[in-house]
Structure 1
Amino acid sequence: MLKTSVQRFLGLIGCVMLLLLALLASLKFGHIQIPFESLVGSFVAYDPGSLEHLVVRSERFARTTTALAVGAGLAIAGALMQTLTRNPLASPGILGINAGAMFFVVMGATFLSLNTPADLVWAAFSGAATAGVLVYFLGQTAGRGISPVRTVLAGVAVTALFVAFAQGLLILNQDRFESLLFWLAGSVSGRDLAAVVPLLPIFAIALLLALFIAPQLNLMGLDDDVMRGLGLKVGQVRLLAGALVIVLAGTSVAMAGLIGFVGLIVPHLARGIFGTDHRWLLPTCALIGATLLLAADTVARLVIPPQEIPVGVMTALLGTPLFLHLARQARRTL
Structure 2
Amino acid sequence: MREPEAPTKPRRQARSRFGAGATGLLVAVMVVALVVACVLSVFFGSRSVTFGQVIQAFSMPSGAAGDAGQDAGITGEVVRLRVPRTVLGMLVGAALAVSGALMQGVMRNPLADPSILGLNSGAAFAVVCAIATVGLSTPAQYMIVALVGGAAAAALVWVLGSLGRTGATPLKFTLAGAVLGSALGSLTSAIMLPRADVISTYRFWQVGGISGARFDLMAPVVPMLLIGFAIAAVSARQLDMLALGDQMAAGLGVNVTRARALAWAGAVLLSAGSTALAGPIGFVGLVVPHAARIIVGSDYRRIIALCMLIGPLLLVSSDVIGRVVSRPADVEVGIVTALIGAPVFVALVRAGKTAEV
Provide the TM-score with structure 2 as the length reference: 0.80
How far has the Cα of 1:16 moved from its partner?
2.5
Matched, 1:58 2:73: no
Instruction: Figure out how many residues of one structure are paired with residues of the other and give that number.
Output: 332
The equivalences for 1:317-328 within 5 A come to 317-326=339-348
Q: Match of 2:53?
A: 38
Q: Secondary structure at the match of 1:37?
A: helix
Q: Match of 1:95?
A: 117
Matched, 1:287 2:302: no
Matched, 1:28 2:43: yes
The equivalences for 1:50-129 within 5 A come to 50=71, 51-111=73-133, 120-121=142-143, 123-129=145-151
Relative distance call for 1:23 and 1:259 in structure 2 (3 A) is same
Contact 1:15 1:284 (8 Å CA) reproduced: no
- Following the alignment from structure 2 to structure 1, what is the Cα–Cα distance between the partners of residues 39 and 226? 22
Percent identical residues: 35
**Cα shift readout 1:5-26 (whole Å, capped 9, x = no counterpart):** x665554443322221111111
Q: Match of 2:10?
A: none
- Following the alignment from structure 1 to structure 2, what is the Cα–Cα distance between the partners of residues 146 and 209? 21
Matched, 1:210 2:232: yes
Q: Match of 2:8?
A: none
Relative distance call for 1:219 and 1:117 in structure 2 (3 A) is farther
Contact 1:98 1:258 (8 Å CA) reproduced: yes
How far has the Cα of 1:251 moved from its partner?
0.8
**Cα shift readout 1:35-70 (whole Å, capped 9, x = no counterpart):** 122222212225344222111112112211221111
**Cα shift readout 1:145-190 (whole Å, capped 9, x = no counterpart):** 7575x86676455434434433454556655655432221111112
The equivalences for 1:293-332 within 5 A come to 293-326=315-348, 329=352
Moved more, 36-45 or 280-289: 36-45
Report the RMSD for the aligned CA atoms in angstroms. Answer: 3.2
What code does the residue aligned with 2:85 have?
R
- Following the alignment from structure 2 to structure 1, what is the Cα–Cα distance between the partners of residues 119 and 309? 22
How far has the Cα of 1:296 moved from its partner?
0.6
Q: Match of 1:240?
A: 262
What code does the residue aligned with 1:317 have?
L
Provide the TM-score with structure 1 as the length reference: 0.85
Contact 1:89 1:326 (8 Å CA) reproduced: no
What code does the residue aligned with 1:218 have?
D
Contact 2:107 2:174 (8 Å CA) reproduced: no
Matched, 1:271 2:297: no
Q: Match of 2:215?
A: 193
Q: Match of 2:34?
A: 19
What code does the residue aligned with 1:79 have?
A
How far has the Cα of 1:234 moved from its partner?
1.6
Structure 1: state its 5+ residue gaps.
Answer: none
How far has the Cα of 1:289 moved from its partner?
0.5
**Cα shift readout 1:57-96 (whole Å, capped 9, x = no counterpart):** 1211221122111111000010011111111111112222
**Cα shift readout 1:279-329 (whole Å, capped 9, x = no counterpart):** 211121011101101111111111122222121111111222344445564
How far has the Cα of 1:223 moved from its partner?
2.2
Contact 2:41 2:320 (8 Å CA) reproduced: yes
- Following the alignment from structure 1 to structure 2, what is the Cα–Cα distance between the partners of residues 267 and 110? 36
Contact 2:290 2:354 (8 Å CA) reproduced: no
What code does the residue aligned with 1:40 have?
I
Relative distance call for 1:197 and 1:117 in structure 2 (3 A) is farther
- Following the alignment from structure 1 to structure 2, what is the Cα–Cα distance between the partners of residues 144 and 298? 45
What code does the residue aligned with 1:38 have?
Q
Structure 2: state its 5+ residue gaps.
Answer: 1-15
